[in-house]
Amino acid sequence: MDLLLDGFQTALTPGNLLFAAIGVLLGTAVGVLPGIGPAMTLALLLPVTYTVGADSAIIMFAGIYYGGMYGGSTTSILLNTPGESSSVITAIEGNKMAKAGRAAQALATAAIGSFVAGTIATVALWIVAPTVADLVVTLGSPSYFALMLLALFAVTAVLGASKLRGFIALFLGLTIGLVGTSTGQARLTFGNPLLADGIDIVVVAVAVFAIGEALWVAAHLRRKPLEIIPVGQPWMSREDWRRSWKPWLRGTAYGFPFGALPAGGAEIPTFLSYATEKKLSKHPEEFGHGAIEGVAGPEAANNASAAGTLVPLLALGLPTTATAAIMLVALQGYGFNTGPTLMDEHPDLVWALLASLLVANCLLLLINLPMAPIWARLLRIPRPYLYAGILFFASLGAYSVNFQAFDLALLLAIGLLGFAMRRFGIPVLPLIIGVILGPKLEEQLGTALKISQGDVSTLWSEPVAVAVYAVMALLLLAMAVAGLRGRDSGPAGPTDTRGSDERELVER
Amino acid sequence: MSTTTTPTTTPVAPTLVDRAQYGLAAFLVVVGTYVGYDAWTLEAGFSDQPVQPYAIPYVVAAGLVVLGLLLAVATARGDRPEAEDGEDVDLSQGTDVRTVALLAGVLVANIALIDLLGWAITGALLFAGAAFALGSRTWVRDLAVGTALSVATWYGFYVGLGIPIPAGVLDGVL
């Protein structure tokens, strides 16, 4: 409790409040802006961490993280083109509401629902994260190694549509992570001394998120402007409130636990929440035509799961979303030992972050409700400037790491890889997690084997490790069974109707 | 990356094969083979290294090759990628190769010139060039915005963040 109060003291200093405000404003802006998301923004802002204090930078990043969620819902409601898979549902119901002239109510239930969910989930985070960290700190290297494997496996295989493509991304990431001389010998450096320290993760992150995305959008840029639904001041009637509060709470209950699992991801809880609301609603006929419950529940689930992802990030050092991965990179950039010991070694920093989440959430409600019409205007930004700006800041970010033109060449090469990945439907997240966790995995394996003096059986000598491997085996089995059943029902042709896609995801 | 220039085909009958995916599969096999070769050239680690430096690379190499082969098989069976969607992405048309090539050219020019001219100049050219590639035709305004951005970021990094970005040819002017 004292730690939490100290955290608030740090988070509420004028300087850090300013960083929180910058964070939520930036976060909302990039959430609204098409083609740019919180992960890309954090990647572009990583150079800032070289000089700004750790607490201020992390507080700003937390603001961007939460802000991106709020802003993303605005885009999906007003444009009907979800930026992320987690806001697909919001786009379905929210855009229908907007088209029916209820954009203000859709935005309001999304914003207030996000606030409610974010607040509850942040409080849950205060309780869960330290408990988990205390538990994990007692585990040995074998168990920690197993947990890392589970996180890699889950992010790769459980999320995303194609397992094969997930693993392709993961192994490409592991390959990039191999580069360097961390083992005393040069691996994959092509004799280039500039590669001796490995490929800077900042360059990799900026390349796949910013360059890859900008090139991909450039290749398929919409030539006619999107139809944007005009919106006024968000507000809700008494009836809207009555229909919204239960979905908010149920969405939170789905979102937080799913986010907190080492598999993470906001997709599954948002779909579950949608399915639940549809079943429980007194107005099932409205679903698909703009039911407010269908916006309230999934939006709350989305935000709660965002808070939940911070549990594995802070307590285990395992990122499960792209944004969390970049936050981990930032923490590592400060030289912090990310992992179960982080909360013990730097309680001031972690609690400042945890307290600032609540601050960010309140700020977001304040800036989002009255300013929604202004945010909506961002959607009209000229696209050449938007994407030229992304390329500009990406180059600047990569260059400022070492002032090496070589880094810019790497940026372009990996950016082209990111472009190809989007073309071939290969998810980006497993790659970035592979780059981050690959070297740590090798290190942890080394530690475990050193203690056991090379005896490999040490890897399954701890009960937690055995349990984790059992979970992985079960997941594999479930995947195999699902794969076989899928094959029985004939070759899965491209089913483009949103309805069937949605059902598949709900049932998964 | 010759694979990237192949136009994206619009979704048609599932029997159609996405040939560009063979290119990706071949890329994976080549990278995997090289990782394996690189691991093979490594010497045994020190006695306090229970995990040999080549151990993980061999696993990664094997994984890449197997995944490449699996992708080739899946492609032959009619597996098609689900290209990434987005707010500004219109997948109903093919890949606009010209724009991507222009953007890549702008980035290459930036790489070639940045040591000589410095960020304040190349950054402005990068922004204006990228905006042109993306369809903007207001030259003067693009250059003005680009210059404002690059000079502002140079000073912002130099003064605000204390990150001394080399000034290049403008050393002493800025």
Q: For A110-124, A150-164, A240-254, A329-343, which range has the lowest pLDDT when averaged over its residues? A: A150-164
Task: Tell me the shortest Cα–Cα distance from B160 to chain A, in angstroms.
Answer: 9
pLDDT of residue A506: 34
Among the listed residues A312, A293, A192, the one whose alpha carbon sits nearest the alpha carbon of residue A245: A293
More confident site: A175 or A263: A175
Enumerate the residues of chain B whose CB falls inside 8 A of the CB of residue A213: 86
Residues 133-172 of B with CB under 8 A from A: 133-136, 142, 145-146, 149-150, 153, 157, 161-163, 165-166
Mean pLDDT of all residues belonging to chain A = 85
- Does B104 sit within 8 Å of A412, measured CB to CB? yes
Picking from B96, B104, B135, the nearest residue to A220 by CB comes out as: B96
Work out the end-to-end distance of chain B between its first and last CA atoms, rounded to an integer number of angstroms.
39
Res. B70: pLDDT tops 90: yes
DSSP B88: T
Q: Which of A148, A220, A222, A410 should we substitute to test contact with B (largest number of B Cβ atoms within 10 Å)?
A: A220
Q: Is B121 on the interface with A (CB under 8 A)?
A: no
**What pLDDT sits at residue A489?**
44
Q: What is the pLDDT of residues A172-210, one digit of tens each?
A: 999 999 998 888 788 888 888 888 888 888 889 889 988
User: What residues of chain A lie within 8 A of the CB of B3, using their CB?
Assistant: 420, 423
Distance from CA of A51 to the nearest CA of B (A): 6
Residue A386 is which amino acid?
L
Can you tell me the distance from the alpha carbon of B174 to that of B166, in angstroms, rounded to the nearest whole number? 10
CB contact under 8 A, B84 and A35: no
pLDDT of residue B15: 54
Q: Does B64 touch chain A (CB under 8 A)?
A: yes
**What is d(CA B122, CA B114) in angstroms, rounded to the nearest whole number?**
6
> To probe the interface with B, which of A423, A445, A498 has the most B CB atoms within 10 Å?
A423
Which of A81-95, A360-374, A415-429, A431-445 has the weakest average pLDDT? Answer: A81-95
pTM: 0.84
Q: pLDDT at position A402, please? A: 84
- For residue A445, the chain B residues in CB contact (below 8 A) are 51, 56
The residue behind tokens 């009958």 is B13
Distance from CA of A323 to the nearest CA of B (A): 18
Q: Rounded CA gap, A11 and A5, in Å? A: 10
Contact residues on chain B for A221, CB-CB shorter than 8 A = 88-90, 96, 99, 134-135
pLDDT at B54 over 80: yes
Contact in structure between A199 and A461 (CB atoms under 8 Å): no
Q: Is the Cα dihedral B70, B75, B80, B86 positive or negative? A: positive
Q: What is the pLDDT of residues A342-365, one digit of tens each?
A: 888 888 889 999 999 999 999 999
Pairwise CB contact (< 8 Å): A405 & B166: no
**Residue A106 confidence (pLDDT) above 60:** yes
What are the residue ranges spanned by the domains of chain A?
A: 2-487
* Dist CA B3 CA B18 (whole Å): 11
Q: Which of A80, A194, A392, A422 to mutate to test the interface with B (most CBs of B within 10 A)?
A: A392
For chain B, what are the domain ranges?
2-76, 97-170
Q: Which residue has the tokens 């096999």?
A: B29
Tell me the mean pLDDT in the region A13-32. 90
Compute the distance between CA of residue A468 and CA of residue A149 in angstroms, rounded to an integer: 9
Single-letter amino acid, residue B117? L
Q: What is the CB-side half-sphere exposure of residue A407 using CA atoms within 13 A?
A: 24
- Kindly report which listed range (A22-31, A151-160, A236-245) carries the lowest average pLDDT score: A151-160
Tokens 């592991």 belong to residue: A174
Which residue from A226, A383, A409 is facing B134, i.e. has the nearest CB? A383
> What DSSP letter does each residue of A186-210 carry, written as one string?
-BS-TT-GGGTT---HHHHHHIIII
* Chain B residues inside the 8 Å CB shell of A215: 100, 103-104
Contact A424 B57 (CB under 8 A): no
List, in order, residues 6 or more apart from A279 with CB less than 8 Å away. Answer: none
Predicted-complex ipTM score: 0.87
Q: Across the interface, do A420 and B95 touch by the CB < 8 Å criterion?
A: no
Percent of chain A with pLDDT over 90: 26
Of the candidates A223, A395, A450, the beta carbon closest to that of B110 is on A395
Q: Exposed/middle/buried for B37, CB within 10 Å: 0-12, 13-18, 19+?
A: exposed
Nearest CB to A446; choose among B49, B57, B146: B49
pLDDT for A448-479, tens place per residue? 888 888 788 888 888 888 988 998 898 888 88
Percent of chain A at pLDDT > 70 equals 92
Decide if B161 and A423 are in contact by the 8 Å CB cutoff.
no
What is the Cα–Cα distance from A96 to A107, expressed in whole angstroms?
A: 12
Query: Between chains, do B87 and A387 touch, taking CB under 8 Å as contact?
Result: no
Tens digit of pLDDT for each residue in A265-305? 777 888 889 989 988 888 888 888 888 999 999 999 999 99
Coil, helix or strand at residue A221: strand
Number of H helices, E strands in chain A: 22, 0
Is A400 in Cβ contact with B165 (below 8 Å)? Answer: yes
CA angle A183, A188, A190 (to 5 degrees): 125
CB-based contact B28:B64 (threshold 8 Å): yes
Asked whether the beta carbons of residue B81 and residue A425 sit closer than 8 angstroms, the reply is yes
How far A122 CA lies from chain B's nearest CA (Å)? 29
Chain B neighbors of A192, CB-CB under 8 A: none
A56-75: per-residue pLDDT in tens? 998 999 899 888 888 888 88
Mean of pLDDT over chain B: 84
